[in-house]
Structure 1
Amino acid sequence: MTANLIKQTDFDAIIIGGGACGLMCAAQAGFLGKRTLILEKNDRVGAKVLISGGGRCNYTNLYASAQQFISQNEHFCKSAFAQWTVDDTISFFNTYGIYGKEKTLGQLFPVTDKAKDIVNVFTNLCNDLDQEIWCDASVTDIEYAHGNFIITYQRYGEEKKISVPKVVVASGGLPVQKLGATDLGLRIARKFGLSVVDTAPALVPLTITGKDQPWYEQLSGNSIFCRVWNSRISFEENILFTHWGLSGPAILQISSYWKPGEDIYIDLLPNQNITTLILRERELNGKKMLLNLLASLYTRKFADALSNRLPMEKNLASLSKVDLDAINKLIHNFRVKPAGDKGYDKAEVMRGGVSTGELSSRTLEAKSIPGLYFGGECVDVTGWLGGYNFQWAWASGFVIAQGI
């Protein structure tokens, strides 16, 4: 299939990817009187926005700062967050009728609970500001010649080329393939000689295999508030037992800091001390069975599942110091050795990406390739669960718009 002749355009920039970063970039460029074209491979923009938060879209976090982001350069995102703050995000969406309600831990959702309202803000703005959006346009290659970038793309069965002075790569990361996720951003970076930090699924459930799997299977559906930690960080949120392992907010959070072969630890009763509870209850009713005490702290199903690990047949009065030490260790220092994770199709985001060392922290332009910008998930800036990654997407889109 022979590509059509290169089409010269009056666009100031082409934005590859119509996700959160690309949409914000187009809107902000429009405010500055610049014309952009979004090339989106799906049949509509904002596919990942639309499914985020169960279709409700946790669009920022009140407490977002550089501290909640993983990157080889922990300071890199500070410049973008100084230029576009959480207050800017809130004010921007308020202007267009999107008002937030806080759920847990600073997570902000639209009061309507509809992610499509977020996407509609951008599609309406692009229309009003004369920003073009071409859906079903899959970019296959990008070259640089004579001061312009030449983008090859396929649309409606035809291969075409288009020339433009500046390009914004906002094509996302590797999750979720059914939404059109590809490694395009990473391939573009490598093609232009930019280094890429090793990628991996992040904010992803962890799997358990082997002899321990049946134990997790029997607890499938049980959710418990816990503290989960490793040598680098800890989180206090719910965990969810599943037939294949562990999920829930605390597990998704720790997964971004977990590496294959490592253990993680769980405090199953983070705000109380199990030994203190047992001794206190023993004074009141020494005949009470350990099983009944644990069933009052957890579900009966979970307490029953601990029977093969603890002396559940004993009453509190008969528990020895050895018993108490064993109970304390299991409840407050429960060790888990995950076999792996559920992969990109179950991951919220991708860890790693285009090295921040290759980009200007102020503009997100490639230092060695003037006119080439990278933003959003394809950059080595990965946030926690809870709206942080959207805040990075909005901030990086805004920053890039100032320079294109």
Structure 2
Amino acid sequence: MTANLTKQSTFDAIIIGGGACGLMCAVQAGFLGKRTLVLEKNDRVGAKILISGGGRCNYTNLYTTHKQFISQNEHFSRSALAQWTVDDTVNFFETYGIEGKEKTLGQLFPVSDKAKDVVNVFTNLCNDLGQEIWCDTEVICVEQVENGFNITITRNDKQQILFAPKVVIASGGLPIQKMGATDFGLRVARKFEIVVTETSPALVPLTITGKDQPWYEQLSGNSIFCRVWNDRASFEENILFTHWGLSGPAILQISSYWRPGEHIYIDLLPGKDIIELILQEREQNGKKMLLAYLSNLFTRKFAEALVDYIPADKNLASLTKTELEDISILLHEFKVKPAGTKGYDKAEVMTGGVDTNELSSKTLESKKVPGLFFGGECVDVTGWLGGYNFQWAWASGFVIAQNL
């Protein structure tokens, strides 16, 4: 490898990371007449955008407020989300040819169902606005110097030092290493003695091990609409049984609020009362077997799996009050103690990151290091499943661009 230590200083800012936040930042800076350079480790930008929503890209959520974000400071996201609203996101994409269609719970997807259309909006705009994108570029280090920063990179097997008066860290978080995820943003923060809060995988499947695993494994592929909760949060969506535990939207949601060693609870019949349902049914058909009745409420396979916990061989008329109460607890407060999560490679995002106390909520600039900005997933702001994290990425990219 050869070294080329010539400094290049023709940019108003260098943006490290070509994901949702970095791309939005580059485009918005371009609208303001500022010239930026986006440095991307992968061979193309927008890697996580392209795989999001099964390749369809759930690019925002119509019901976004600060309340759908997890952070040590629950109010931190308010300013950015007010400066760049959901309406701004919708209008932005509509302006550049992407109409949205709403699916469940406010989730907005492109009518085309193609995530690449979202990425193309940014690459086309960057090209039109003269914003440079360098892919296959690895950033080695960021150093503060007089009037700005030196960024040492490796590109085309050559090492270079770039200079910019301002630097944006939009390098994402730890999930999905195969997509190029690293802890780069967190390392930069620590280097500048900026506090980083503890990180963990979020929006991630939960694992079940030991004596309980075979029970879940036999149900692999079964999906049930449930309410899943603990003492921090509650979500009503589908859960999916797998050979290693539990997945599905409701499980991914609660995983962000789960801590190792804790239980979660599942209401398998949300909004209903199984005791009332059984009492009503036995007035009409008391001889019906409990297993047959439950097979009408769930799949036969799931009902048969419940035989381990209920008097399935009894008819409805012969169920005692105690047995009915036990059935109610089982179905409305099904208790699960996960062994762990599937880790960062199966997580959609992470919790934790650059401490919000270290940043201005209005500009996302470091309080300790003027000219250094952090946006997107590397900040301790983590959204729910369903487009919220994209809205935070667009908003944080916009806010930073206004202050470069």
Q: Tell me the TM-score normalised to structure 1 length.
A: 0.99
String of CA shifts for 1:238-297, please: whole Å, max 9, x gaps: 000000000000000000000000000000000211000000000000000000110000
In structure 2, how many angstroms separate the alpha carbons of the residues matched to 1:193 and 1:42?
28
Correspondence for 2:349? 349
Shift of the 190–6 alpha-carbon distance from structure 1 to 2, 3 Å rule, reads farther
**How far 1:104 moved relative to its partner?**
0.2
In structure 1, how many angstroms separate the alpha carbons of the residues matched to 2:147 and 2:381?
29
String of CA shifts for 1:282-321, please: whole Å, max 9, x gaps: 0000000000110000000000000011000000011011
SS of the residue 1:140 aligns to: strand
Correspondence for 2:85? 85
Correspondence for 2:381? 381
6-15 vs 102-111, which moves further: 6-15
Correspondence for 1:220? 220
Structure 1 residue 254 and structure 2 residue 254: aligned?
yes
Correspondence for 2:306? 306
Structure 1 residue 288 and structure 2 residue 281: aligned?
no
| Residue segments in structure 2 that go unaligned for 5+ positions in a row | none
* Matched letter for residue 220 of structure 1: S
The residue correspondences of 1:174-323 to structure 2 (distance < 5 A) are 174-323=174-323
Correspondence for 2:170? 170
**How far 1:6 moved relative to its partner?**
3.5
The residue correspondences of 1:82-121 to structure 2 (distance < 5 A) are 82-121=82-121
Do the aligned partners of 1:189 and 1:354 also contact (CA within 8 Å) in 2? Answer: yes
In structure 2, how many angstroms separate the alpha carbons of the residues matched to 1:6 and 1:170?
25
SS of the residue 1:127 aligns to: helix
Correspondence for 1:159? 159
* Matched letter for residue 181 of structure 2: A
Do the aligned partners of 1:6 and 1:163 also contact (CA within 8 Å) in 2? Answer: no
Structure 1 residue 16 and structure 2 residue 16: aligned?
yes
In structure 1, how many angstroms separate the alpha carbons of the residues matched to 2:6 and 2:243?
53
Correspondence for 2:146? 146
In structure 2, how many angstroms separate the alpha carbons of the residues matched to 1:40 and 1:186?
17
Do the aligned partners of 1:3 and 1:161 also contact (CA within 8 Å) in 2? Answer: no
In structure 1, how many angstroms separate the alpha carbons of the residues matched to 2:128 and 2:103?
32
**How far 1:2 moved relative to its partner?**
5.9
SS of the residue 1:5 aligns to: strand
SS of the residue 2:98 aligns to: coil
In structure 2, how many angstroms separate the alpha carbons of the residues matched to 1:265 and 1:241?
15
In structure 1, how many angstroms separate the alpha carbons of the residues matched to 2:232 and 2:143?
41
Do the aligned partners of 2:5 and 2:159 also contact (CA within 8 Å) in 1? Answer: no
* Matched letter for residue 312 of structure 2: M
**How far 1:3 moved relative to its partner?**
3.3
* Matched letter for residue 135 of structure 2: C
Correspondence for 2:60? 60
Do the aligned partners of 2:232 and 2:257 also contact (CA within 8 Å) in 1? Answer: yes
In structure 1, how many angstroms separate the alpha carbons of the residues matched to 2:333 and 2:3?
61
**How far 1:158 moved relative to its partner?**
1.5
SS of the residue 2:238 aligns to: strand
* Matched letter for residue 332 of structure 1: H
Do the aligned partners of 2:2 and 2:157 also contact (CA within 8 Å) in 1? Answer: no
Correspondence for 1:5? 5
In structure 2, how many angstroms separate the alpha carbons of the residues matched to 1:313 and 1:157?
71
Identity of aligned residues (%): 76
String of CA shifts for 1:338-358, please: whole Å, max 9, x gaps: 000000000000110000000
Do the aligned partners of 1:226 and 1:268 also contact (CA within 8 Å) in 2? Answer: yes
In structure 2, how many angstroms separate the alpha carbons of the residues matched to 1:270 and 1:280?
18
Correspondence for 2:394? 394
SS of the residue 2:105 aligns to: coil
String of CA shifts for 1:9-43, please: whole Å, max 9, x gaps: 21000000000000000000000000000000000
Q: Tell me the TM-score normalised to structure 2 length.
A: 0.99
SS of the residue 1:105 aligns to: helix
In structure 2, how many angstroms separate the alpha carbons of the residues matched to 1:237 and 1:258?
17
